[in-house]
Structure 1
């Protein structure tokens, strides 16, 4: 399946992510958590560390921003996508340097199968937070949906480099292994 979606430019960004630095405004605690997440053995579970990373990503110094984010997440969780959209649009307009605002809007666009919009928001997320394994995984999922298997494989491998505990991605990679594709 071919498409006019901007896979190539975003794929190049994804490939370059391991050498990119996060935006300076992100909490410094994230670097410590990512180091801990990459260790084979840590004093805490991977899930606990991931939860802390997500908590930092969705937090913001502006309480109003956090309240809007919470409302958007709640709306998405309840399936009220039409309510979540304007909230997320407001977040990216008011807080353009907040990676998670872009990521949540990318997620909403992906759910609604507005893949071009999702890819644009994933790009902005990753420009700000190159370690965002959720956005990288989202790019991989959109690649899969459009038959870009090599790009999907690469994206999932890069996401695993940032968070080696994403077992669902390992399973997808196993399914995408060339010998397994021939069996389908």
Structure 2
């Protein structure tokens, strides 16, 4: 995510006078010639990283699923950083425990993360994912709502909420959650497919 512009290095050539040639007179106060007195070109500034707001704006305007996936990946990376090295390390260890299906350890580690960073939406989202694996949809939904209260544009949290509501047969609210996903990320084809199948059951058949 960091891009650095290369500095431009310009060499200055000195023009020598022929042997015996007289150097033209110059004012008494004129500065002496020398490479150090020559104006140096300004180095270009590195490109500014897009803010999270700008990334979400670009995501909403993406013209293809491939473009949207690239932008969504940048957003996910940004959301996965808390600003605390300790919290980031603990969450990465929780992810490792999750991958090994050690869900109790994963929950314990995320609990520590949330004690350090209670306003980190990604940590609430990750704990919701673990709760869902532990067959605790109530705990998962509570954490998803916490994540969305902190970051209402967290499209993965909205997607997870839609899945849990569908599993509980709350199709009306599930459809609302899925539609919210597409407001944020209009190029999510899998969510589009779910909405197309679900919409007639909620809204009725189109005439």
TM-score of Structure 1 vs Structure 2, range by shorter chain: 0.7 to 0.9
Alpha-carbon distance change, 96 to 172 in structure 1, aligned in 2, over 3 angstroms: same
- Partner residue, 1:51: 73
User: What is the Cα deviation at residue 177 of structure 1?
Assistant: 2.9
Where in structure 1 do 4 or more consecutive aligned residues deviate above 6 Å?
none
Within-5 A mapping of 1:60-79: 60-79=82-101
- Partner residue, 1:14: none
Within-5 A mapping of 1:41-120: 41=63, 45-120=67-142
Give the number of the structure with larger relative contact order, counting CA–CA contacts within 8 Å between residues 6 or more apart.
Answer: 1
Distance (Å, rounded) in 2 between the aligned partners of 1:149 and 1:66: 36
Name the TM-score, length of structure 1 as normaliser.
Answer: 0.77
Distance (Å, rounded) in 1 between the aligned partners of 2:82 and 2:185: 23
Alpha-carbon distance change, 109 to 81 in structure 1, aligned in 2, over 3 angstroms: same
Q: Which structure has the greater CA radius of gyration?
A: 2
Q: Does 1:143 align with 2:165?
A: yes
Distance (Å, rounded) in 1 between the aligned partners of 2:135 and 2:160: 12
Name the TM-score, length of structure 2 as normaliser.
Answer: 0.69
Unaligned runs of 5+ in 2: 1-48
User: What is the Cα deviation at residue 77 of structure 1?
Assistant: 2.4
Deviations 1:148-168 (A, max 9, x none): 001111110011101112211
Secondary structure at the aligned position of 1:45 is classed as helix
Alpha-carbon distance change, 143 to 68 in structure 1, aligned in 2, over 3 angstroms: same
Unaligned runs of 5+ in 1: 1-26
User: What is the Cα deviation at residue 79 of structure 1?
Assistant: 2.2
